[in-house]
Amino acid sequence: MRIAVIGGGPGGLYFAALVRQLEVADEVTVWERNAADDTFGFGVVFSDETLGGIEHADPRIFEQMRREFAQWDDVDVHFRGEVHTSGGHGFAAMGRRRLLEVLQQRCRELGVDLRFSTAAPDVELLRESYDLVVASDGVNSTVRGRYAEVFRPSAETTRCRYMWLGTDRVFDAFTFYVNETPHGVMQVHGYPFDARTSTFIVEMNEQVWRRAGFDSFAARSFLPGESDEKSVELVRDLFRDALGDAELYVNNSRWLTFVTIRNERWRHGNVVLLGDAAHTAHFSIGSGTKLAMEDALALAACLREQPGLDAALTSYEAERKPVVVSTQRAAQASLEWFENLGQYTGQDPRQFAFNIMTRSRRVTYENLRVRDPQFVAGVDAWFAGDGEVRPPMFQPFRLRGLELVNRVVVSPMDMYCAQDGLPNDFHLVHLGGKALGGAGLVMTEMVCVSPTGRITPGCTGLYTDEQAAGWRRITEFVHGNSAARIGVQLGHSGRKGSTRLMWEGMDEPLPEGNWEVVGPSPLPYRPGVSQTPRELAVSDLSELTRQFVGATRRAARAGFDLLELHCAHGYLLSSFISPLTNHRTDRYGGSLANRLRFPLEVFAAMRDAWPADLPMSVRISATDWCADGVDADDAVEIARAFAAAGADIVDVSTGQVDPAERPAFGRSYQTPFADRIRNEAGIATMAVGAISSYDDVNSILLAGRADLCLIGRAHLYDPHWTLHAAAEQGYAGPGAQWPQPWQAGSRRPRSGRTDGPRPRLDLIRAGEPGTRHRRWRPGPAGTPDGQPGPP
């Protein structure tokens, strides 16, 4: 096999060395337009996992790299004059230039033809004369651009600006410096990569960047390789506390905007993408070099394992793409966290440190507790205040006169089991069972305020006194048999009403017995399928308000502890808020303030009718997941408006407004919206959406991303999810109260098989395992020795 590699960065060189070592290819040629000793950037970071793969794949490369490594375990967070350290993480870094030298040397030993300062021939010519063409030509890949219609790339830019610098201050850990300046908050990502130098990346939101005046320095044209010295000088002044007397080094250092590259396909015939040409991930969770070298290893292995080129490239993409997608998802969460860094500056430094450590959602509460139990214990103690230290999810929470024993909420879930709006035995068992299962708050499904406000014939209501009596039976059971409290969610289906039961056809209109649906504008939910709603006249709105107030009064008589107004998911009040569904030209349409007018009128009327000592919440769709719909910026304003109207907490969901939506599904995917509203609008929030583990709940709460967590499907799978979470964490206390008849089952049962007591086989016992707090300590002669040091 003859292989052509376009791009002589670490990914391309490592791949070339591996395929020659494996004897997959007889001839490998690498073209690199830059000189052999040209490089941009400073250090590169590797995880222990990646290093294990490199060691196994080519021990000679690994050994050369190992001799150069700066290694450490700690992460230091500098914020508001305090330093908080989390240990046990495991990092290794080296200079990018030295890494290239190691890889170039290995390629020459293996007979790779390296052609530096030489542009690659036209890719079409290479395709014809080589069996395989590997495009490792970076983020601005010409090969990817040449075949864009096949690879179908996308490029997403951030709202931050950053600059790569070096410094002769040798950090002894991965270091975050968060600096609140007169222009706004800025941060530095710093880490050592040899005995004399550290990488120093400065990053800030673009608005802060402009207020600081960096835009005026960056406006001029720069020569190839030239650095923005004026900006560097200002950075030096702004981060004098972090640098001390140390100097900053430049290497083509100019302001950049990070671009996330994704490709729907990675191969075109015998051309395949590798590294930044195929994908990028924000530097805050690791280096692009790490990902590129992992790509190289996987591609070389697939070429050796598979019977032919086509099978090898198919296997490579199938193997690597899910890994990269997962990494990019974590990187996107981290990137967005830094974009919105300003919203966290009001946090206590201990919570801030936990927040920054868990920003990508890959590192969690439990994960940190294993790595550094002392760090997590300190944040737990801060979170508990003067109360008992316990897992965050089992801390109490107060809203007006309502106190919840823990932070877990059973999410509203439509059951579609009512007749004529009446709750029945199914609802009693469903809601009562969840209350017995330990949740602090149990929410009903959306309870409708009128017969024509129902989604389906199976929806419950609170538009008759008989229905109120049925609900009273359920609230009395919850109050009499558990420590839980119970909330009711009131709503009107709007244009999404008069449909079949969920299992008969989601959002499909009733074949018979249907009723008229209404909305702010005559726009059907599914054109050609759904019923077209009648546009509400202004005179209709007072009657609808009266229906909501009547249901509110019945809810109070029924004994509910919390009242929630449903303004999400495309139902009536949600459809007033979204510009996709509200095309009115009167005072109830147009601007966001106008679109909010009717929902706020309803909320205010309900607040007046609801007991003053009991809380009210509102569920919103924080984004429509559609262009020109409600977005995260709107969501903050929506939350502020409801807070001003008397809302105590916002239940932050998303979407279900327009069937054309494209949600970014994933674990805890809606939590960032709750996070932003809580920290920017200053109102308590509930997070909901793909939260299913107690580890995620603890992480969300301790980081200050929400005050309560709603758990839906996990409670359907396990009605006693909260009590089982307590048992799994070894917690027994007031935050997880087992019913007296169930006390014998409050400990996790043994599995079917257990190992018996093990004999002692160590003559001298090893010390108790503890947190690794290794710091980078260069040797006295300027060579690395990696000695551990105190944090």
Phi, psi (5° rounding) for residue 419? -125, 125
Phi, psi (5° rounding) for residue 789? -145, 165
Strand partners, 248: 167
Residue 14 makes CB contacts below 8 A (sequence gap 6+) with 61, 103, 292, 293, 296, 297
Q: In sequence order, what DSSP letters do the residues of 238-292 get, joined into one string?
A: HTHHHHTTPPEE-SS---B--EEEEES-SEETTEEE-GGGT----GGG--HHHHH
Secondary structure, 3-state, 16-39? HHHHHHCCCCCEEEEEECCCCCCC
| Distance in angstroms (rounded) separating the CA atoms of residues 507 and 529 | 9
Query: How many Cα atoms occupy the beta-carbon half-sphere of 293 within 13 Å?
Result: 27
Q: In sequence order, what DSSP letters do the residues of 113-127 get, joined into one string?
A: EEEET-PPPPHHHHH
The structure tokens listed for 430 are 């469903």
CB atoms within 10 A of CB 152: 11
Q: In sequence order, what DSSP letters do the residues of 199-212 get, joined into one string?
A: EEEEEEEHHHHHHT
Phi, psi (5° rounding) for residue 320? -85, -35
Residue 456 makes CB contacts below 8 A (sequence gap 6+) with 416, 499, 500, 501, 502, 510
Q: In sequence order, what DSSP letters do the residues of 315-341 get, joined into one string?
A: HHHHHHHHHHHHHHHHHHHHHHHHHTG
| Angle formed at CA 288 by CA 31 and CA 274, multiple of 5 degrees | 45
| Distance in angstroms (rounded) separating the CA atoms of residues 679 and 347 | 9
Provide, for the chain, the percentages of residues in helix, strand and coil under a 3-state DSSP scheme, each rounded to the nearest 5. Answer: 40, 20, 40
Q: What is the dihedral of CA 621, 668, 663, 679, to 10 degrees?
A: 50
Rg (CA), the chain: 30
* Catalytic residue chosen out of the listed positions 571, 588, 694, 731: 571
| Distance in angstroms (rounded) separating the CA atoms of residues 291 and 297 | 10
Of the candidates 599, 497, 469, 489, the residue with the CA atom closest to the CA atom of residue 552: 489
Residue 130 annotated as catalytic: no
Amino acid identity of residue 783, one-letter, is T
Of the candidates 602, 613, 617, the residue with the CA atom closest to the CA atom of residue 648: 617
CB 396 within 8 A of CB 387: yes
Dihedral of alpha carbons 381, 385, 387, 390, sign? negative
- The burial of 150, by beta-carbon neighbours within 10 Å (0-12 exposed, 13-18 middle, 19 or more buried), is given as middle
Phi, psi (5° rounding) for residue 361? 75, 0
Start-end of H helices in 509-621: 538-558, 572-577, 592-609
Paired sense of beta strands 91-95 and 43-47, if any = antiparallel
Buried b (16+ CB within 10 A) or exposed e, 555-589: bbebbbbbbbbbbbbbbbbbbbbbbbbbebeeebb
CB 782 within 8 A of CB 81: no
CB 75 within 8 A of CB 173: yes
| Distance in angstroms (rounded) separating the CA atoms of residues 608 and 585 | 29
- The residues carrying an active-site annotation are 571
